[in-house]
Structure 1
Amino acid sequence: MTDAYIIGAGQSDFGSFPGESYRSLFDAAFDEAVDSIDADFDTEKIDEAFLGTLGVGGRQLGLSGPAVTEHLGLHGVATTRVENACAASGYALRNAAMAVRAGMADVALAGGYEVMTDMSGDHTKWWLGVSGETEWERLSGTTFAGVYAQMASAYLQEFDATVEDLSRVAVKNHGNGAKNPHAQLGFECTLDEAVNAPDVAAPLNLYHCCPTTDGASAVLVANERVARELSDAPIRVAGAGAASGQVGLFQRDSLTSIPATRTAAERAYEEAGVGPADLDIAEVHDCFAIAELLAYEDLGFCDRGEAARLLREGATDPEGRLPVNTSGGLKSKGHPIGATGTGQVVEMFDQLRGEAHVQVDDARVGLTHNVGGSGGGVAVHVFEREGGAT
């Protein structure tokens, strides 16, 4: 089996774009991905495409993947739509890497797209709710924010953490997102602002929740031969781990951990031959501030109950020992459901090539962590630039 390499990655702006379609947003992301390749690239080299979307609003639920690739002029390319809620394009990347590794494709396209802002808040809330357990959560009135609020309440009761710690996540990620020209909420906030914002679902307030977002992202994956031909600095997909878990929160033994994250991370670390201590940077799924704290622990960045301490010490700041969400994360950059996973990979590609807006010095090994719903499906990837772990 050949290794899989990222040779190009790009995204549209994330935000609210009246009049834009999922096709036009993906067109922008794809163009940026192609432009990021170091040599001239013939799009006819693309053998497979895996595109993630939830299909918010019900538009083109059938065959939306081929509708995108045909719009791009990728005629005849085998295209698969991937749906795993917010982890859709994380899984799309995994599928693309597997296709390349297995020799089924020399070049595969992975990406995602979503249009979420062209409907009422109540309608959007309904669509977000389908990523939870339908019968016992959504139909009983539980919102997506409400599910994570239960997780936050349990965590604050069980461990040494406060609402102020949730707000520190927002301050850090907004500080990073303010430097990202693609970010939807590209502004800084103070700790006071983040602590005293209006409640959404207590203990979560406005600054603890990601925005509703339109956007797209695209990643081009190639085998080693093509990667060496087209890229001066290809980024190796060193490890790919994925796992499913209980879709409903009420089905779990604990509200303060996402077991699928732990399993997916173990698989990615094992395949890459690295551990958490070898990472230089990470993009984690912070749809709500509590999700970032849980990720620190489930990904092995710290012991159980130690996430708030890690944050307070500045370990996950851009200058810390393990910077997290230098893109701004979902909290500041935005969260277009189907585009989020490969959007994280865009940041990792830029970081490991030394081209990021908030650049981490000498970043060699990075991780992305993409969660579907409240943990029903998780994709974790480890990436390495030439030289790998030191």
Structure 2
Amino acid sequence: MSRVAVTGVGMTRFGKSNDSLKTLLLKASRQALIDAGRPKVDAIIVGNFMGGPLAQQEILGSILVTELGLGHIPSMKTEGACASGGIAFRQAYQLLKAGAYKTVLVVGGEKMTHIQTNHVISAVNHAMDNSSMESKTGLTFPGYFGVVANRYMYEYGATKSHLAMVAFKNRNYARQNPLSQFQAATSLEEILSARMITDPLGLFDCSPISDGAAAVVVQNVAREGVEVIASGQASGTPIMQEVDDLTRIPATEEAAKQAYSQAAMEPNDVDVLELHDCFSMTEIIAIEELGFFERGTGFEAVEKGLTNHGGDIPVNTSGGLLSKGHPIGATGIAQIVQIVEQLRGTAPNQVEHARVGMAQNLGGTGAYSLVHLFKKEGA
């Protein structure tokens, strides 16, 4: 089996953009290819969720092959709701491990801000089981995770203040990230008093509507690049009434178990973590499911500062989805860009002596979860 490494990264600024989805994808792709030294590309894999309904554009892989002048190489698009980018990266990793290709360009993107919010929400809800009564009676993703937050607070004694601490931490990280959507200062008081979206989740507890793209070049290489040392993926039910425990996302735990086993590592081997904080509550659950803190104690870890620099595990040093932004198809790749930069020593909010990094990407309400582990060159 071959050594697989990320040799190039590229990313647009997240937020509101005048660029088309095609232009965003091309910008990130060109940056990554230049960063990798312009290698010969054997295939392109695109992560995207709503190119059709929102941007009226599909066949994204073929478009990129043509625009980048790469001849007749194969391309494909993967869709897994908010995990579309992570799935695209995993497909590239597995194909490279198998020896099918030597170099794959993986790019994810979304164009969302040009459409009215109600239409965006309607498109996002395609990630639910629309034949279930839950969807037909109006359940939304904020509604689902609001229920999750209330149940977690009831079970373990967390409060809305703990959710605000997650949002506050991630905003402070985003302020130092030039590519993040939100860079303005805020306060815990402002977060706690913000407009309610769905009890107990306020405006700052919910990831925004965003445009943007991110790309990585992944190669079979002997030495250079940040090595990909594990890839785990698992699925879960998309229907709330089938969830055994609303304070858990089992697919994340399972994907993490796979990754730790492949890498022969444990949570305490990880130096920096990018995880899927589509809502502030999901960050608290994820740090538990990934094994960094005992179940029911994630909120206490946040309160103690254990997910900041100097704590047990710095989490979402990019600003996370909450403040870096969440252009859905780009998110899983953008997480990897941040981890690669951390291990290169060039990241915003650089973690000192970071040698092993993790990226965790979630789709739907836990329908998909992916966990990737990375190791610094020479580590």
Q: TM-score, normalised by structure 1?
A: 0.94
Aligned to 2:26: 27
| Deviation (angstroms), 1:145 | 0.8
| Deviation (angstroms), 1:160 | 2.3
| Distance in 2, Cα, partners of 1:14 & 1:245 | 29
Runs of 4+ with >3 A deviation: 58-62
AA partner of residue 128 (structure 1):
V
AA partner of residue 194 (structure 2):
A
Pairs within 5 Å for 1:269-280: 269-280=260-271
| Deviation (angstroms), 1:381 | 0.2
Instruction: Show structure 1 runs of 5+ residues with no match.
Output: none
Aligned to 1:5: 5
- Going from structure 1 to structure 2, the CA distance change for 1:61 and 1:139 (only over 3 Å counts) comes to farther
Deviates more, 1:96-105 or 1:135-144: 135-144
Q: Secondary structure at the match of 2:315?
A: coil
Pairs within 5 Å for 1:295-314: 295-314=286-305
The answer to whether structure 1 residue 124 and structure 2 residue 120 are counterparts is yes
Aligned to 1:48: 43
The answer to whether structure 1 residue 159 and structure 2 residue 156 are counterparts is yes
Q: 2:376 aligns with which of 367, 385, 388?
A: 385
AA partner of residue 158 (structure 1):
E
Q: Secondary structure at the match of 1:241?
A: strand
Deviates more, 1:167-176 or 1:247-256: 247-256
| Deviation (angstroms), 1:67 | 1.9
Aligned to 1:109: 105
Aligned to 1:315: 306
Aligned to 1:207: 204
Please list the CA deviations of residues 307-327 of structure 1 after superposition, one character each: whole Å capped at 9, or x if unmatched. Answer: 011111111112322100000
Pairs within 5 Å for 1:1-390: 1-18=1-18, 20-37=19-36, 40-42=37-39, 45-56=40-51, 57-60=53-56, 62-136=58-132, 137-225=134-222, 228=223, 231=224, 234-388=225-379
CA contact (8 A) 1:130 1:138 kept: no
Deviates more, 1:89-98 or 1:312-321: 312-321
| Deviation (angstroms), 1:60 | 4.3
| Distance in 1, Cα, partners of 2:256 & 2:278 | 18
CA contact (8 A) 2:226 2:375 kept: yes
AA partner of residue 351 (structure 2):
V
| Deviation (angstroms), 1:15 | 0.6
Q: Quick one: percent identity of the two aligned structures?
A: 38
| Distance in 2, Cα, partners of 1:72 & 1:194 | 43
Q: Secondary structure at the match of 1:335?
A: coil
| Distance in 2, Cα, partners of 1:150 & 1:305 | 16
Please list the CA deviations of residues 338-367 of structure 1 after superposition, one character each: whole Å capped at 9, or x if unmatched. Answer: 010010000001000000110000000010
Q: Secondary structure at the match of 2:131?
A: helix
AA partner of residue 10 (structure 2):
G
Instruction: Show structure 2 runs of 5+ residues with no match.
Output: none
AA partner of residue 14 (structure 1):
F
Q: Secondary structure at the match of 1:134?
A: coil
| Deviation (angstroms), 1:218 | 0.4
| Distance in 2, Cα, partners of 1:201 & 1:74 | 47
Please list the CA deviations of residues 75-109 of structure 1 after superposition, one character each: whole Å capped at 9, or x if unmatched. Answer: 31211100000000101111111111111010011
What is the number of equivalent residue pairs in this alignment?
A: 377
Q: Secondary structure at the match of 2:28?
A: helix
| Distance in 1, Cα, partners of 2:303 & 2:55 | 43
Q: Secondary structure at the match of 1:54?
A: coil
CA contact (8 A) 1:52 1:338 kept: yes
| Distance in 2, Cα, partners of 1:134 & 1:278 | 40
